[in-house]
Chains A and B, each alone.
Chain A
Amino acid sequence: MEPRLANTWRLTVNEKKFIETALQSDLRIDGRRPFEYRNISIKFSSVDGSAEVQLGQTHVMGFVTAQLVQPYKDRPNEGTLSMFTEFSPMADPSFEPGRPGEAAVELGRVIDRGLRESRAVDMESLCVISGKLVWAVRVDLHILDNGGNLIDAANIAALAALLTFRRPECSLGGEDGQEVIVHPPEVREPLPLIIHHLPIAVTFAFFSNETSVVIDPTHSEEAVMGGRMTATLNANNDVCAIQKAGGEGVLQSVIMQCLRIAGQRAYDITTKIKNAVESYNTERALRKVKRHSSSVSLDVSGADVDVVKNQNQSFDQKGVSERSKLIPGKSIADQSTDIESETKSSRQGQTSRIDGDAKNFIGGPSSWDPYTGGVNSDFLKASLASRGTSTPSRKEKDSRGENISREAMPVEPPEDNILASSPIEVAKTPLRTNGEKTLKDAVKPKNRRKKKASSAGGS
C-alpha cells in the first residue's frame, strides 16, 4: 500500500519549542524530572512465559516459546535464543505491516545483544544431546502501544517472559539412550530457564541544547530529540551493551553521568522485575497444588488476582460463579451454605452482598464484566432447579435453561483444559481427603443432572 502521507504525524513547531524551552528549566511536559522513569507495571497471564509490560503509555507484550532443534555446527552444546520483534500497526499509525523497519530491527538487535553477548541466559543447560538436539528459545515481542521508549519496555517484557517461562523436561531413554522423551507438563514439572543476571536497557535522549538529557523519553520527546543512547546494564553495574547510533554529538562527561544514572535505574528496575516474578511464581505454585481450582484466568483489567484464599472455595465449584471466589477468607462450608440459603430466599434478585463485594473488588474496565451482575444467583437457581425432580422439556430448557446457563458461566481452571481426564482424577483424590467432601458432594450431582437435562434436551 502506498505510504499515506496524510497519516504521518508531525509535531508542530510550537510544541517543539515548548518542549525544548521547558527542558532548559529541567521541566518535562508530563511533569517528571529529567532522570525519572515512568510507572512500570508488569503483568503475567496464566500461560507460562508471557508478560505484559506497561511503561507509562507504552504497552509491550512478550511471549517465549521453545522448540527442539539441531544446534549450530560451531556450537554443538549450546541452545539458541532468537528474538522476534513485531512493531504492530496497532501501536502507531505510522507502523506498516510487513517487513520490519529499521527501528524494529534496531530494537531487536539491541535487546538481543544485551541478552546474548552478556550471557544472561544460560545456553549450555539447553543442550539435550550434544550435536543433535538442543532447545531453541524464541522470544516474540509485540509492541501494542507506542508511547515512547520502546526499547526499555520491550527489554523488560523480554526479561519478564524469560524469567517466567518453563520448558518441558526431557530425558534420554530408549535402548541406546539416544531417544529423547519430552515429558508433558502434567507428568513432570517443567523447568525454568537459568538466567544469570538481568541486563536492563536504559534509554537517554539528548536535545540540541547541549546540557539537556532526559531518561525514558515519551513519544513527543522522541520527536524532538536530537540523539538517543541506550545503555544496557545489570544490577551489578556491569555494562552489557551501549548503543548510540548517530544523532547529536555529546560530551564525554555527559555520557559518564548517564552511565552512572543508568546503573542506579537498572538496580531499581531489576528489583521491580524480581518482585513481580516472585509473586507470579508463588501464585503459580499455589495453582499447581490445587490443580482444578478456579481459573486464575484473570479478568480484563489484568490484575493479578490473589486467588490464594479463594482456591479452597473454588475447587470443583465449577458450577459456582466467579463472584464467589472474590469473597475472601470464607471457609468453604460457610460460603456454600450462605450462597444456597440466599438463593433459596430470593430466586430472582441479585444478592447484593456478593454483588457489593464484587463491585468493591474490581474497579475500572472489569466493571463491564458480566459477573458483576446476577450470575451467581441465576446459575444457582438453575442448579437448584436441576437438583429438583422436574426435568424440563427441551423447549422449556432452551428458553429458560439457556437464559440461565448462558448467564452463569462457570469458572474453569485453565489446567483443566490442558490436563487429560486421568490426571484430574488422580489429582482430585488427594484433595478429597482434605475435608472438602461436603462441598463436592453437593456440587457434583448438580452438574451431572444439569448435563443430563441439557443433553437429553440436546438430542
Chain B
Amino acid sequence: MEIDRVDGRTANQLRPLACSRNILNRAHGSASWSQGDTKVLAAVYGPKVGTKKNENPEKACIEVIWKPKTGQIGKPEKEYEMIVKRTLQSICVLTINPNTTTSVIVQVVNDDGSLLPCAINAACAALVDAGIPLKHLAVAICCCLADSRYVLLDPTKLEEQKTKAFVYLVFPNLTLSVISEGSLKVEGEPVEQAIITSVTQGAMSVDDYLHCLERGRAASAKMSAFLRRSLPPQIPSDSSKAG
C-alpha cells in the first residue's frame, strides 16, 4: 500500500534540515534549526548567578523561555517550556556550576509541524554554541501514525492535524568511540538505545509505539550525523560575548 504524503516524501524521509550557529551578537550562544518550513531560533545566556526559589541550589539550573510566533503565552507554551527544560537538564552537566542559572530562550519563527523536536534540536545546538558543558547531545524527532497504521517521520502541520496519534522522541547522541566495542553500556545495554524524552499525543497501541521508537531511533542516527557535521569547532570572530 502506498503512502501518499502531500509533499512527496516517503514514510521514512525527513524534511531538509538546516542548522546555523552564532547568529545573534548579544547572546552567549545562539542557533537556528529548521526542518522543512518549521524554523526555530534558540539563544542561550548563562550561567548567571542564583537559582529560582524552588530549585536546588546545589546544582545548576536551566531556565527555558518559549516565545510563540504570535499570540499570548498560555498553557501550551508553559508545557513546552517544561518539556524542553527537563530534556536539557538530562544532557547538561549540572554539577559543574552549582547555584547558577542558564537561560535558554526559544523563539518560534515558523511552525509547520514537528515544532517541539525542532526546538529541542535548536536548543541543543545553542548550548553547544555557548560552550555549556554537556554530557552528550540530543536529537529529537517526531513520528506520527498515519490512518493506515504506518509510521510517518517528521510530519508537516497538516499531517499532524490529520493523524490520530503522534509522538515526540528525543534520543541521546553520544560521542563516537574509536574502539568498536567502546560504546557505553549501562546495565548491559548500549546507551545509544536510551530514550531521553517521549511525549505522545493521541491513543496508539503498544506495538505502534514500539514501531515509532524503532523508526525514530534509526532516524536519529542520521540526524546525529548531520548534527556532528554542522557543529564543527568555529573560530569565533568576536570572542568576547560577555556583556
As a 0/1 sequence over residues 152 to 177 of chain A, the CB contacts with chain B under 8 angstroms (1 = contact) are 00000000000000000000000000
Number of A-B contacts (CB under 8 A): 203
Residue numbers in A under 8 Å from B9 (CB-CB): 318, 410, 412
Q: A402 contacts B222, CB within 8 Å?
A: yes
Q: B41 contacts A144, CB within 8 Å?
A: yes
Q: Which of B4, B14, B20, B157 contacts A417 (CB 8 A)?
A: B157
Tell whether A426 is near chain B: CB-to-CB under 8 Å. Answer: no
With known contacts A4-B50, A417-B158, A418-B158, A366–B107 Cβ distance under 8 A: no
Taking CB atoms and an 8 Å cut-off, the chain B residues in 1-41 that contact chain A are 1-4, 6-27, 30, 32, 34, 36-37, 39, 41
Residue numbers in B under 8 Å from A57 (CB-CB): 25-26
Q: Which of B1, B21, B32 contacts A455 (CB 8 A)?
A: B1
As a 0/1 sequence over residues 118 to 154 of chain A, the CB contacts with chain B under 8 angstroms (1 = contact) are 0000000000000000000010101011110000000
With known contacts A63-B70, A92-B26, A406-B222, A413–B7 Cβ distance under 8 A: yes
Residue numbers in A under 8 Å from B52 (CB-CB): 1
Q: B49 contacts A7, CB within 8 Å?
A: yes
Q: B37 contacts A46, CB within 8 Å?
A: yes
Tell whether B192 is near chain A: CB-to-CB under 8 Å. Answer: no
Select from chain B the residue with minimum beta-carbon distance to A408: B13
Q: B23 contacts A147, CB within 8 Å?
A: no
Q: A402 contacts B12, CB within 8 Å?
A: yes
Q: Which of B4, B50, B110, B229 contacts A2 (CB 8 A)?
A: B50
How close is B169's CB to chain A, nearest CB, in angstroms? 15
Q: B105 contacts A409, CB within 8 Å?
A: no
Q: B43 contacts A90, CB within 8 Å?
A: yes
A419 and B65 alpha carbons, distance in the complex (Å) = 33
Interface size on A, residues (CB 8 A): 77
With known contacts A88-B107, A144-B107, A418-B158, A59–B24 Cβ distance under 8 A: yes
A86 and B109 alpha carbons, distance in the complex (Å) = 14
With known contacts A295-B37, A455-B150, A458-B150, A406–B12 Cβ distance under 8 A: yes
Q: B19 contacts A368, CB within 8 Å?
A: yes
With known contacts A88-B67, A146-B26, A407–B222 Cβ distance under 8 A: yes
Q: B41 contacts A368, CB within 8 Å?
A: no
Q: Which of A50, A142, A297 contacts B67 (CB 8 A)?
A: A142
Taking CB atoms and an 8 Å cut-off, the chain A residues in 320-351 that contact chain B are 322
* Interface of A (DSSP majority class): mixed
With known contacts A45-B110, A97-B65, A368-B229, A297–B37 Cβ distance under 8 A: yes
Q: Which of A45, A144, A459 contacts B24 (CB 8 A)?
A: A144
Tell whether B69 is near chain A: CB-to-CB under 8 Å. Answer: yes
Q: A300 contacts B19, CB within 8 Å?
A: yes
As a 0/1 sequence over residues 194 to 231 of chain B, the CB contacts with chain A under 8 angstroms (1 = contact) are 00000000000000000000000011001100100111
Interface size on B, residues (CB 8 A): 67
A420 and B238 alpha carbons, distance in the complex (Å) = 47
Tell whether A405 is near chain B: CB-to-CB under 8 Å. Answer: yes
A407 and B151 alpha carbons, distance in the complex (Å) = 18
Select from chain B the residue with minimum beta-carbon distance to A454: B10
Residue numbers in B under 8 Å from A424 (CB-CB): 6
Residue numbers in A under 8 Å from B34 (CB-CB): 297, 300
Tell whether A27 is near chain B: CB-to-CB under 8 Å. Answer: no
A63 and B23 alpha carbons, distance in the complex (Å) = 20
A69-77, A254-262, A274-282, A445-453 - interface stretch: A445-453
A98 and B158 alpha carbons, distance in the complex (Å) = 31
Q: A412 contacts B70, CB within 8 Å?
A: no
A318 and B27 alpha carbons, distance in the complex (Å) = 37
With known contacts A47-B110, A65-B70, A409-B16, A459–B150 Cβ distance under 8 A: yes
- Most chain A beta-carbon contacts within 10 A, residue among B13, B20, B48, B218: B13
Residue numbers in B under 8 Å from A65 (CB-CB): 70
How close is B67's CB to chain A, nearest CB, in angstroms? 6
Q: B70 contacts A448, CB within 8 Å?
A: no
How close is B243's CB to chain A, nearest CB, in angstroms? 4
Residue numbers in B under 8 Å from A413 (CB-CB): 7
Select from chain A the residue with minimum beta-carbon distance to B8: A318
Q: B13 contacts A142, CB within 8 Å?
A: no
Q: A369-B230, A406-B12 are known contacts; what are 4 more A-B pairs with Cβ within 8 Å?
A: A91-B26, A299-B18, A365-B22, A419-B6
Q: B-side interface residues toward A, CB under 8 Å? A: 1-4, 6-27, 30, 32, 34, 36-37, 39, 41, 43, 45, 48-50, 52, 65, 67, 69-71, 103, 105, 107, 109-110, 112-113, 149-151, 156-158, 218-219, 222-223, 226, 229-232, 243
